[in-house]
Amino acid sequence: MPRPLGELEDAVMTRVWQWNRPVTVREVLEDLQRERSIAYTTVMTVMDNLHQKGWVRREVEGRAYRYMAVSTRAAYAAALMNEDWGRSDNPAAALVAFFGMMSPDQREALDDAIRIVQRDTPLPAPLPAPPGEGAGETGSEGR
């Protein structure tokens, strides 16, 4: 289970997820500097930490690395929700409370997700009939 990302880790991962392509420390730095004053070495350290934690993979390109997300933001959010839900001593009550906090748009997204899961989940195979009860089994075949 992933630990929640720290504030700066989240800011970096947000860019990696949004851009959905290999990124350099310099690109992330320049975008972050629009919002705050931050040093190149700080961003480099955060991206290295994210690599060590398994959030990003990296490939050498020239003298720099290009970083790519290992999973999606949706998968990260789902893992956090699942972890927190699993801590509840009453999972049904936790879900009711969570659903009660949802906006109409979030409820619509939930309805869509349920439809997708139900559509993509195969029905269980029927159990085989006990001997002698299946079609064409009279016990006299082959005699």
Q: List per-block mean pLDDT (blocks of 10 residues) for the chain, which spans 143 residues.
A: 86 97 97 97 97 95 95 91 89 90 93 87 70 54 47
The predicted model scores a pTM of 0.69
The encoded tokens of residue 118 equal 């139900």
Nearest to 24 by CA among 74, 60, 78: 60
> CA 27 to CA 1: how far, in whole Å?
29
The encoded tokens of residue 102 equal 């949802």
**What was the pLDDT predicted at 143?**
46
Q: Which residues of 2-27 are buried (b: 16+ CB within 10 A; e: fewer)?
A: eeebeebbebbbebbbeeeebbbbeb
**What was the pLDDT predicted at 46?**
98
Paired sense of beta strands 56-61 and 64-69, if any: antiparallel
